[in-house]
Structure 1
């Protein structure tokens, strides 16, 4: 081993150097008079072990130890002091000292600590060699094997052997973050698409924030590629959100001609090896919230807020709006309800989809007695197939709005068909009851309508008023009876007129001649026919 002795007392330096030469003749011994000189030796000579005093001019032993830690110099340090102070020992151990010896130093203790250090250095060398060999092996193996190892790790299904292999890798150590990324293709040809280039570019982009390792989560399909990136970094993602969003936006623009990039970022990991699998699952969950446009393609898990229980659109009010003249009232009611439900992008996508499906099924149940069954089948298909497969909130709302307009049109058509039937039934009823006193109020009550609405309905469907239809029905009956040579007062009574003179005036106005004249013109003709 190469051993450096640091002490400001020349006598102590010589004594310690002679002791080590006697105990371990094969070791190389260097000496330094203070911490500053020792630091230069460590940088240039890279000794395996440093035995240093604490109280020294220029740079004391504890400050020297702290600088070694700050610069990442991994030499083993044993502190030697004449002061048996707990505070010194505690500070030394906190900054990475291997041991703490008291002066005067016993030769057996020095020999013991050097032997233990030699054993530890040998073990660390073997471990480092094995780690380097494993990294080389992994670099030579297929990407499928490497992906399989990482996936098994993230999914918690590693074997003991695989766990040992991965745990030995340097990139598994330290702090960092886990990113779940998805690229969804736009419809169209993808002849220029190179999955390997996509993964390399993704890894390169995340390497701006630390040591990045990206691997595929699925075999590239026609519509989507997924990947996970593990970024080893000491700086929390929370402190770099703006930079990360800018990078993601730039990456999205770069690949926009092929499709859309989205990302989910899990919580910061103090230990990647211990916490990354859980952070990976959190990143997947966060990614689902890209369903909402407001996140612009990247969601940090720690930005998601809890939301209160959902409130569905009022089914009865929605159905009432669907029966109105304009579908927009129902559409706007639905939009407002789902904007509130979405909670500015914090509501879980599956929850919103469930509410949308339930809304459609409630509408189906409410309209089953009003519209054709085909509309009900369309609503069922949307609730069970289209809504669950929606990738974006805007797509979901487009489906809902389309179905609402279709239902509105179907209800309007049903109302129109029903109105036609009611008007036809009303005209038959008038004809059958022409002898009775017929009023608009009586007819409306008979057909369960408001009198004003019923009057408007008849006029809009036939172009004539209710009174016009009553008069026409009575005149048809009157002509039949007069042609049968019935007496005029009998005809008037049969047609609902108690006043014969009034009947005659109405008849003449409608037919251009008096009942008597009509009777005489009609009767000879019928006699001739006989």
Structure 2
């Protein structure tokens, strides 16, 4: 909302100026004045939504100012402040149609409630009187959001101001951008204008919605026998090389009364871009007629992924993920929601499996954030970006150790863990005492030497259990345990499962 503050006490003006943006970041102070005469001039110039004024001021008081500007046709709401609680002031304010009357000193809670009530009144009026909003794109944006009801007054206004008959057909062309940028959107709108310049008889308006990451084109005043969608698709898609990450939807509305419902329908089907790609403008009636196939989760590809993760082979991991992506581009038609469900399941398996064997770095990784991103993306490019980001995380990360003795000790553990290397042996090779090395090891890594060695061996055991067909005694020998029964005991104490049971559960 746009505010003008008329108050002769500067400290009160400053307090209100600081408070309004805190109540709502969209609150803007467009002018200030110290008395009613100055206030009249500021209001005439700025045409605010709300006037906040004191009653008692020099030259002209607040009520006299309101009486003058309301006589001129000003529609602004007003909040009157007064240190005088006499009945006559309140009665005069009510007679003028003042929206809110507050006594000084101002109580913050009361002031906040008064501003909210004024906002509510303005929104109600705007639904009834669209002319207060202004341009066609603003009116249409409010109709799509449900803030305007296309009642008789609205349709009359649209006919009179823009030649848009409420009973004529309209078309909606909605473009969603996975990555929103002003440069990309400006280029997109220039292309639209160039296409429509070929048919000047057709009218349209452009709505930019950065919050929704959408550009909405509303097309009207065209003949019913004109195939507008085919015309746009023929010009737009064939000549565009930058549509990756853009989902485009289309719907035709019999009249402006159905526009909001048609827009919601387009929104619902935009995610079909995940299956069809950016080469298609998605049309609601066409999608509704599509016969979809049963989407069966590719468990065999998940198992390939687990094997690749166990082997810590980036190329194998990448290959298994690519196979998973290609699975949904096999010529069959699946519902996008089912595809998303499969992606979530596959990524969950990849993350949890990687965490389980302890090889990969998922520090500060929010699985809930991943789920939200998959749920909300509407493009094939969006799914691809999420996948690439996740695969990049699936890289083994060596501990960043600055202490040279500890760094060399860790390197020796990784090289000689199969031989049952001890703290004493490593300390001797480094030329320091075992006590000194043990103290440094714990200080740097937060665990003692034996706990680190045991965990490293068990992580190796998990890799071998899930990534190979080796027998238990062979795995025990490979990780430095000569007694397979003792290995099983240690493994169960750490994981809660015997090695054979662990293999059955996770493989």
- What TM-score, normalized to structure 1? 0.42
Report the structure number with the largest CA radius of gyration: 1
* Higher RCO (Cα < 8 Å, 6 or more apart): 2
**Alignment TM-score, normalising by the size of structure 2:** 0.43
**Larger % of helix: which?**
1
